[in-house]
Structure 1
Amino acid sequence: MEKENVTIYDVAREAGVSMATVSRVVNGNSNVKQATKDKVLAVIDRLDYRPNAVARGLASKKTTTVGVIIPDVTDMFFSELARGVDDVASMYHYNIILANSDDSGTKELQVLENLLAKQVDGIVYMGNGLREQLRNQFSHSNVPIVLAGGVDEVNQIPTVNIDYTAATKDAVTKLIKNGHTQIAFIPGNMQQAINQKYRLRGYQEALEEAGIAFDETMVFDAQYTYNAGFELANELYATTATAAFVGADELAAGILNGLTDRGVNVPEDFEIITAINTKLTQITRPQLSSISIPMYDMGAVAMRMLTKLMDKENIENGHLSLPYGIISRQTTR
């Protein structure tokens, strides 16, 4: 008997029990005698039977599947979030469908449509902002959605992240205390809410409290890549900046190497503090000082929140802000 043709009927016949009994065993129902359970499990093992998730979903109106929308699967920040999501999903017996959106508005909408067509029970969305079209689609979907690591400017959708404003302010204040008054602000894509609204506010608050005037020429828009940072180092070299807050570790590594190639000594001539604390911060030489974000925990907590929403449980706080830290390494004095 080929395993792809094995049905619940075959298992019931071989074990000499009803299909209802097989179903109870498969679904972990305790109302089955141990001897019967052992017999059914032995047949399931022998026939290599795998329950049809689609058929089970039709019966229960649940597919036990969660969609995860990720902007870039190669990005260490989002991949670590996804690990947290996956581990908690497994604990609660959910499968995940990971969909890469390429951080593109058009593709995000397409990915969401595909996931909803697959009848997912819930969605974890990762991204640095929430485009209006996607927000509208979320509001019309009939499944719960949680943002992991992202921001929702109007607090409509449950979120798990850190206080990006406070974290940026702390990082910039550290540079100010080290004697810097010309601090470049290089968060990444300035069109995204996380940078335009939250990180920029933290940067400005730090300057204001120190009595330093905000200078728009110290604000740089950049992609989150190593090459973008390496090229940006030339621009930085031509400014009066003596330090930089950088919104992504790969971007920071490019800036560090670009400045080093120009003969700039870090941290003696120029200090850098980055914002994520992926393993890249320890691979570079000198090692990058960084805000420390609990990436895995954000993914895990977001998935746990989603399980509660899918089970129609009340959640006390739909907007969780997890603790962060600042790790001093070799790119700050």
Structure 2
Amino acid sequence: MEKQTITIYDVAREASVSMATVSRVVNGNPNVKPATRKKVLEVIDRLDYRPNAVARGLASKKTTTVGLIIPDVTNMFFSSLARGIDDVATMYKYNIILANSDENSQKEVQVVNNLLAKQVDGLIYMGHDISDSIRSEFSRSKTPVVLAGSIDPDQQVGSVNIDYIAAVAAATKQLLTSGNKRVAFVSGPLTEALNSQYRLRGYKKALDEAGVAYDESLVFESQYSYQSGLALFERLQKAKATAAIVSDDEVAIGILNAARDAGVKIPEDFEIIASNNTKLTEMSRPRMTSIDQPLYDIGAVAMRLLTKMMNKEEIDEKTIMLGYDITERDSTK
């Protein structure tokens, strides 16, 4: 037997109230007598009525849906951010449509357009890079956009992050202070503003303050994957690096494991500082020292900022910077 779709009309009839009253109860409008509200909620419960989000969206011109663009669902950095986003979305009764862009700029444009076609009320973008094509999609659509855990140098869209320049400078300084003459900087692609304009600047700043000359042969670009980290260690050894600051935790674990496979002692012969303090840093042996970005909070604050934008609330600051720490573990002296 096919399940009958229960409509707002059925609820109104069963509860002997108008459809407008049912609508007010469903949408949390306070102008309903408590006894009436209780009766309507009981009928909703008994009939298992589920308001039709699409129909509701047509009536209010809002779908209460947010599009979440995630470059790699399997990377713990993004999944930690997504948890914070999801919790706040639930609190404000927004649904989330998750789209995986595979860190591919053509696919990103396609994904943005697909989400906009679904009439989402807002977008949270987690890509490390805002390409010109993505930027033009953002400005063409009037949909509010917030970046979570990334940064827009042009500050056209909202973003929530940490001070990446200061964080990388602090980590680099720590490695120099513990006696390393050749500290490598392992970064994601330098075409990404986050890496070239922020993290690399932090690295250079620390070298400069310590009176150490910048050496390009100690800067390594890498994809954000464990495999890339494994492959990199040999190159770090050839460059005579004795320490590395690594901008992705999977890459850091790859370097750590390759070092141990090569019989290199961590941290005695080689020190590593990771960047995201995801669970991976606790799971590795030795456990890894890391810049600690409050990933869950970054996600939560990004979603809250987006709700303000979607509701056209007053916003003091489009770029929000949260604090960071360096969590000391066993991959540094």
Settle same-fold status: TM greater than 0.5: yes
Matches of 2:283 and 2:100, distance apart in 1: 26
Structure 1 residue 189, shift from structure 2 partner: 2.0
The 5-angstrom pairing of residues 39-188 of structure 1 reads 39-188=39-188
Structure 1 residue 3, shift from structure 2 partner: 4.7
Amino acid at match of 2:289: S
Structure 1 residue 4, shift from structure 2 partner: 4.8
Matches of 1:67 and 1:4, distance apart in 2: 30
Structure 1 residues 4 and 126: alpha-carbon distance in aligned structure 2, compared to 1, 3 A threshold: farther
Q: What's the counterpart of residue 10 of structure 1?
A: 10
Amino acid at match of 1:230: L
Amino acid at match of 1:162: I
Amino acid at match of 2:294: P
SS in 2 for 1:5: coil
Indicate yes or no: 2:300 matched with 1:324.
Answer: no
Query: Is the contact made by 1:190 and 1:222 (CA closer than 8 Å) also made in structure 2?
Result: no
SS in 1 for 2:276: coil
Amino acid at match of 2:99: A
Q: What's the counterpart of residue 274 of structure 1?
A: 274
Q: What's the counterpart of residue 225 of structure 2?
A: 225
Amino acid at match of 2:168: T
Matches of 1:290 and 1:5, distance apart in 2: 52
Matches of 2:153 and 2:20, distance apart in 1: 49
Query: Is the contact made by 1:66 and 1:95 (CA closer than 8 Å) also made in structure 2?
Result: yes
Normalising by structure 2, report the TM-score.
Answer: 0.98
SS in 1 for 2:326: strand
> In the comparison of the two structures, how many residue pairs are matched?
333
Structure 1 residue 272, shift from structure 2 partner: 0.7
Matches of 2:31 and 2:316, distance apart in 1: 33
Structure 1 residue 31, shift from structure 2 partner: 1.5
Matches of 2:304 and 2:142, distance apart in 1: 19
Matches of 2:281 and 2:189, distance apart in 1: 20
Q: What's the counterpart of residue 192 of structure 1?
A: 192
Normalising by structure 1, report the TM-score.
Answer: 0.98
Matches of 1:128 and 1:71, distance apart in 2: 8
Amino acid at match of 1:184: A
Amino acid at match of 1:189: P
RMSD: 1.1
SS in 2 for 1:68: strand
Amino acid at match of 1:327: T
The 5-angstrom pairing of residues 187-266 of structure 1 reads 187-266=187-266
> Equivalent pairs: percent with the same residue?
61
Matches of 2:179 and 2:242, distance apart in 1: 10
Matches of 2:212 and 2:153, distance apart in 1: 27
Segments of 4+ moved more than 4 angstroms: 1-4
Q: What's the counterpart of residue 288 of structure 1?
A: 288
Structure 1 residues 107 and 128: alpha-carbon distance in aligned structure 2, compared to 1, 3 A threshold: same
Matches of 2:215 and 2:283, distance apart in 1: 32
Query: Is the contact made by 1:3 and 1:48 (CA closer than 8 Å) also made in structure 2?
Result: no
SS in 1 for 2:194: helix
Structure 1 residue 191, shift from structure 2 partner: 2.1
Structure 1 residue 167, shift from structure 2 partner: 0.4
Matches of 2:3 and 2:325, distance apart in 1: 51
Matches of 2:4 and 2:101, distance apart in 1: 32
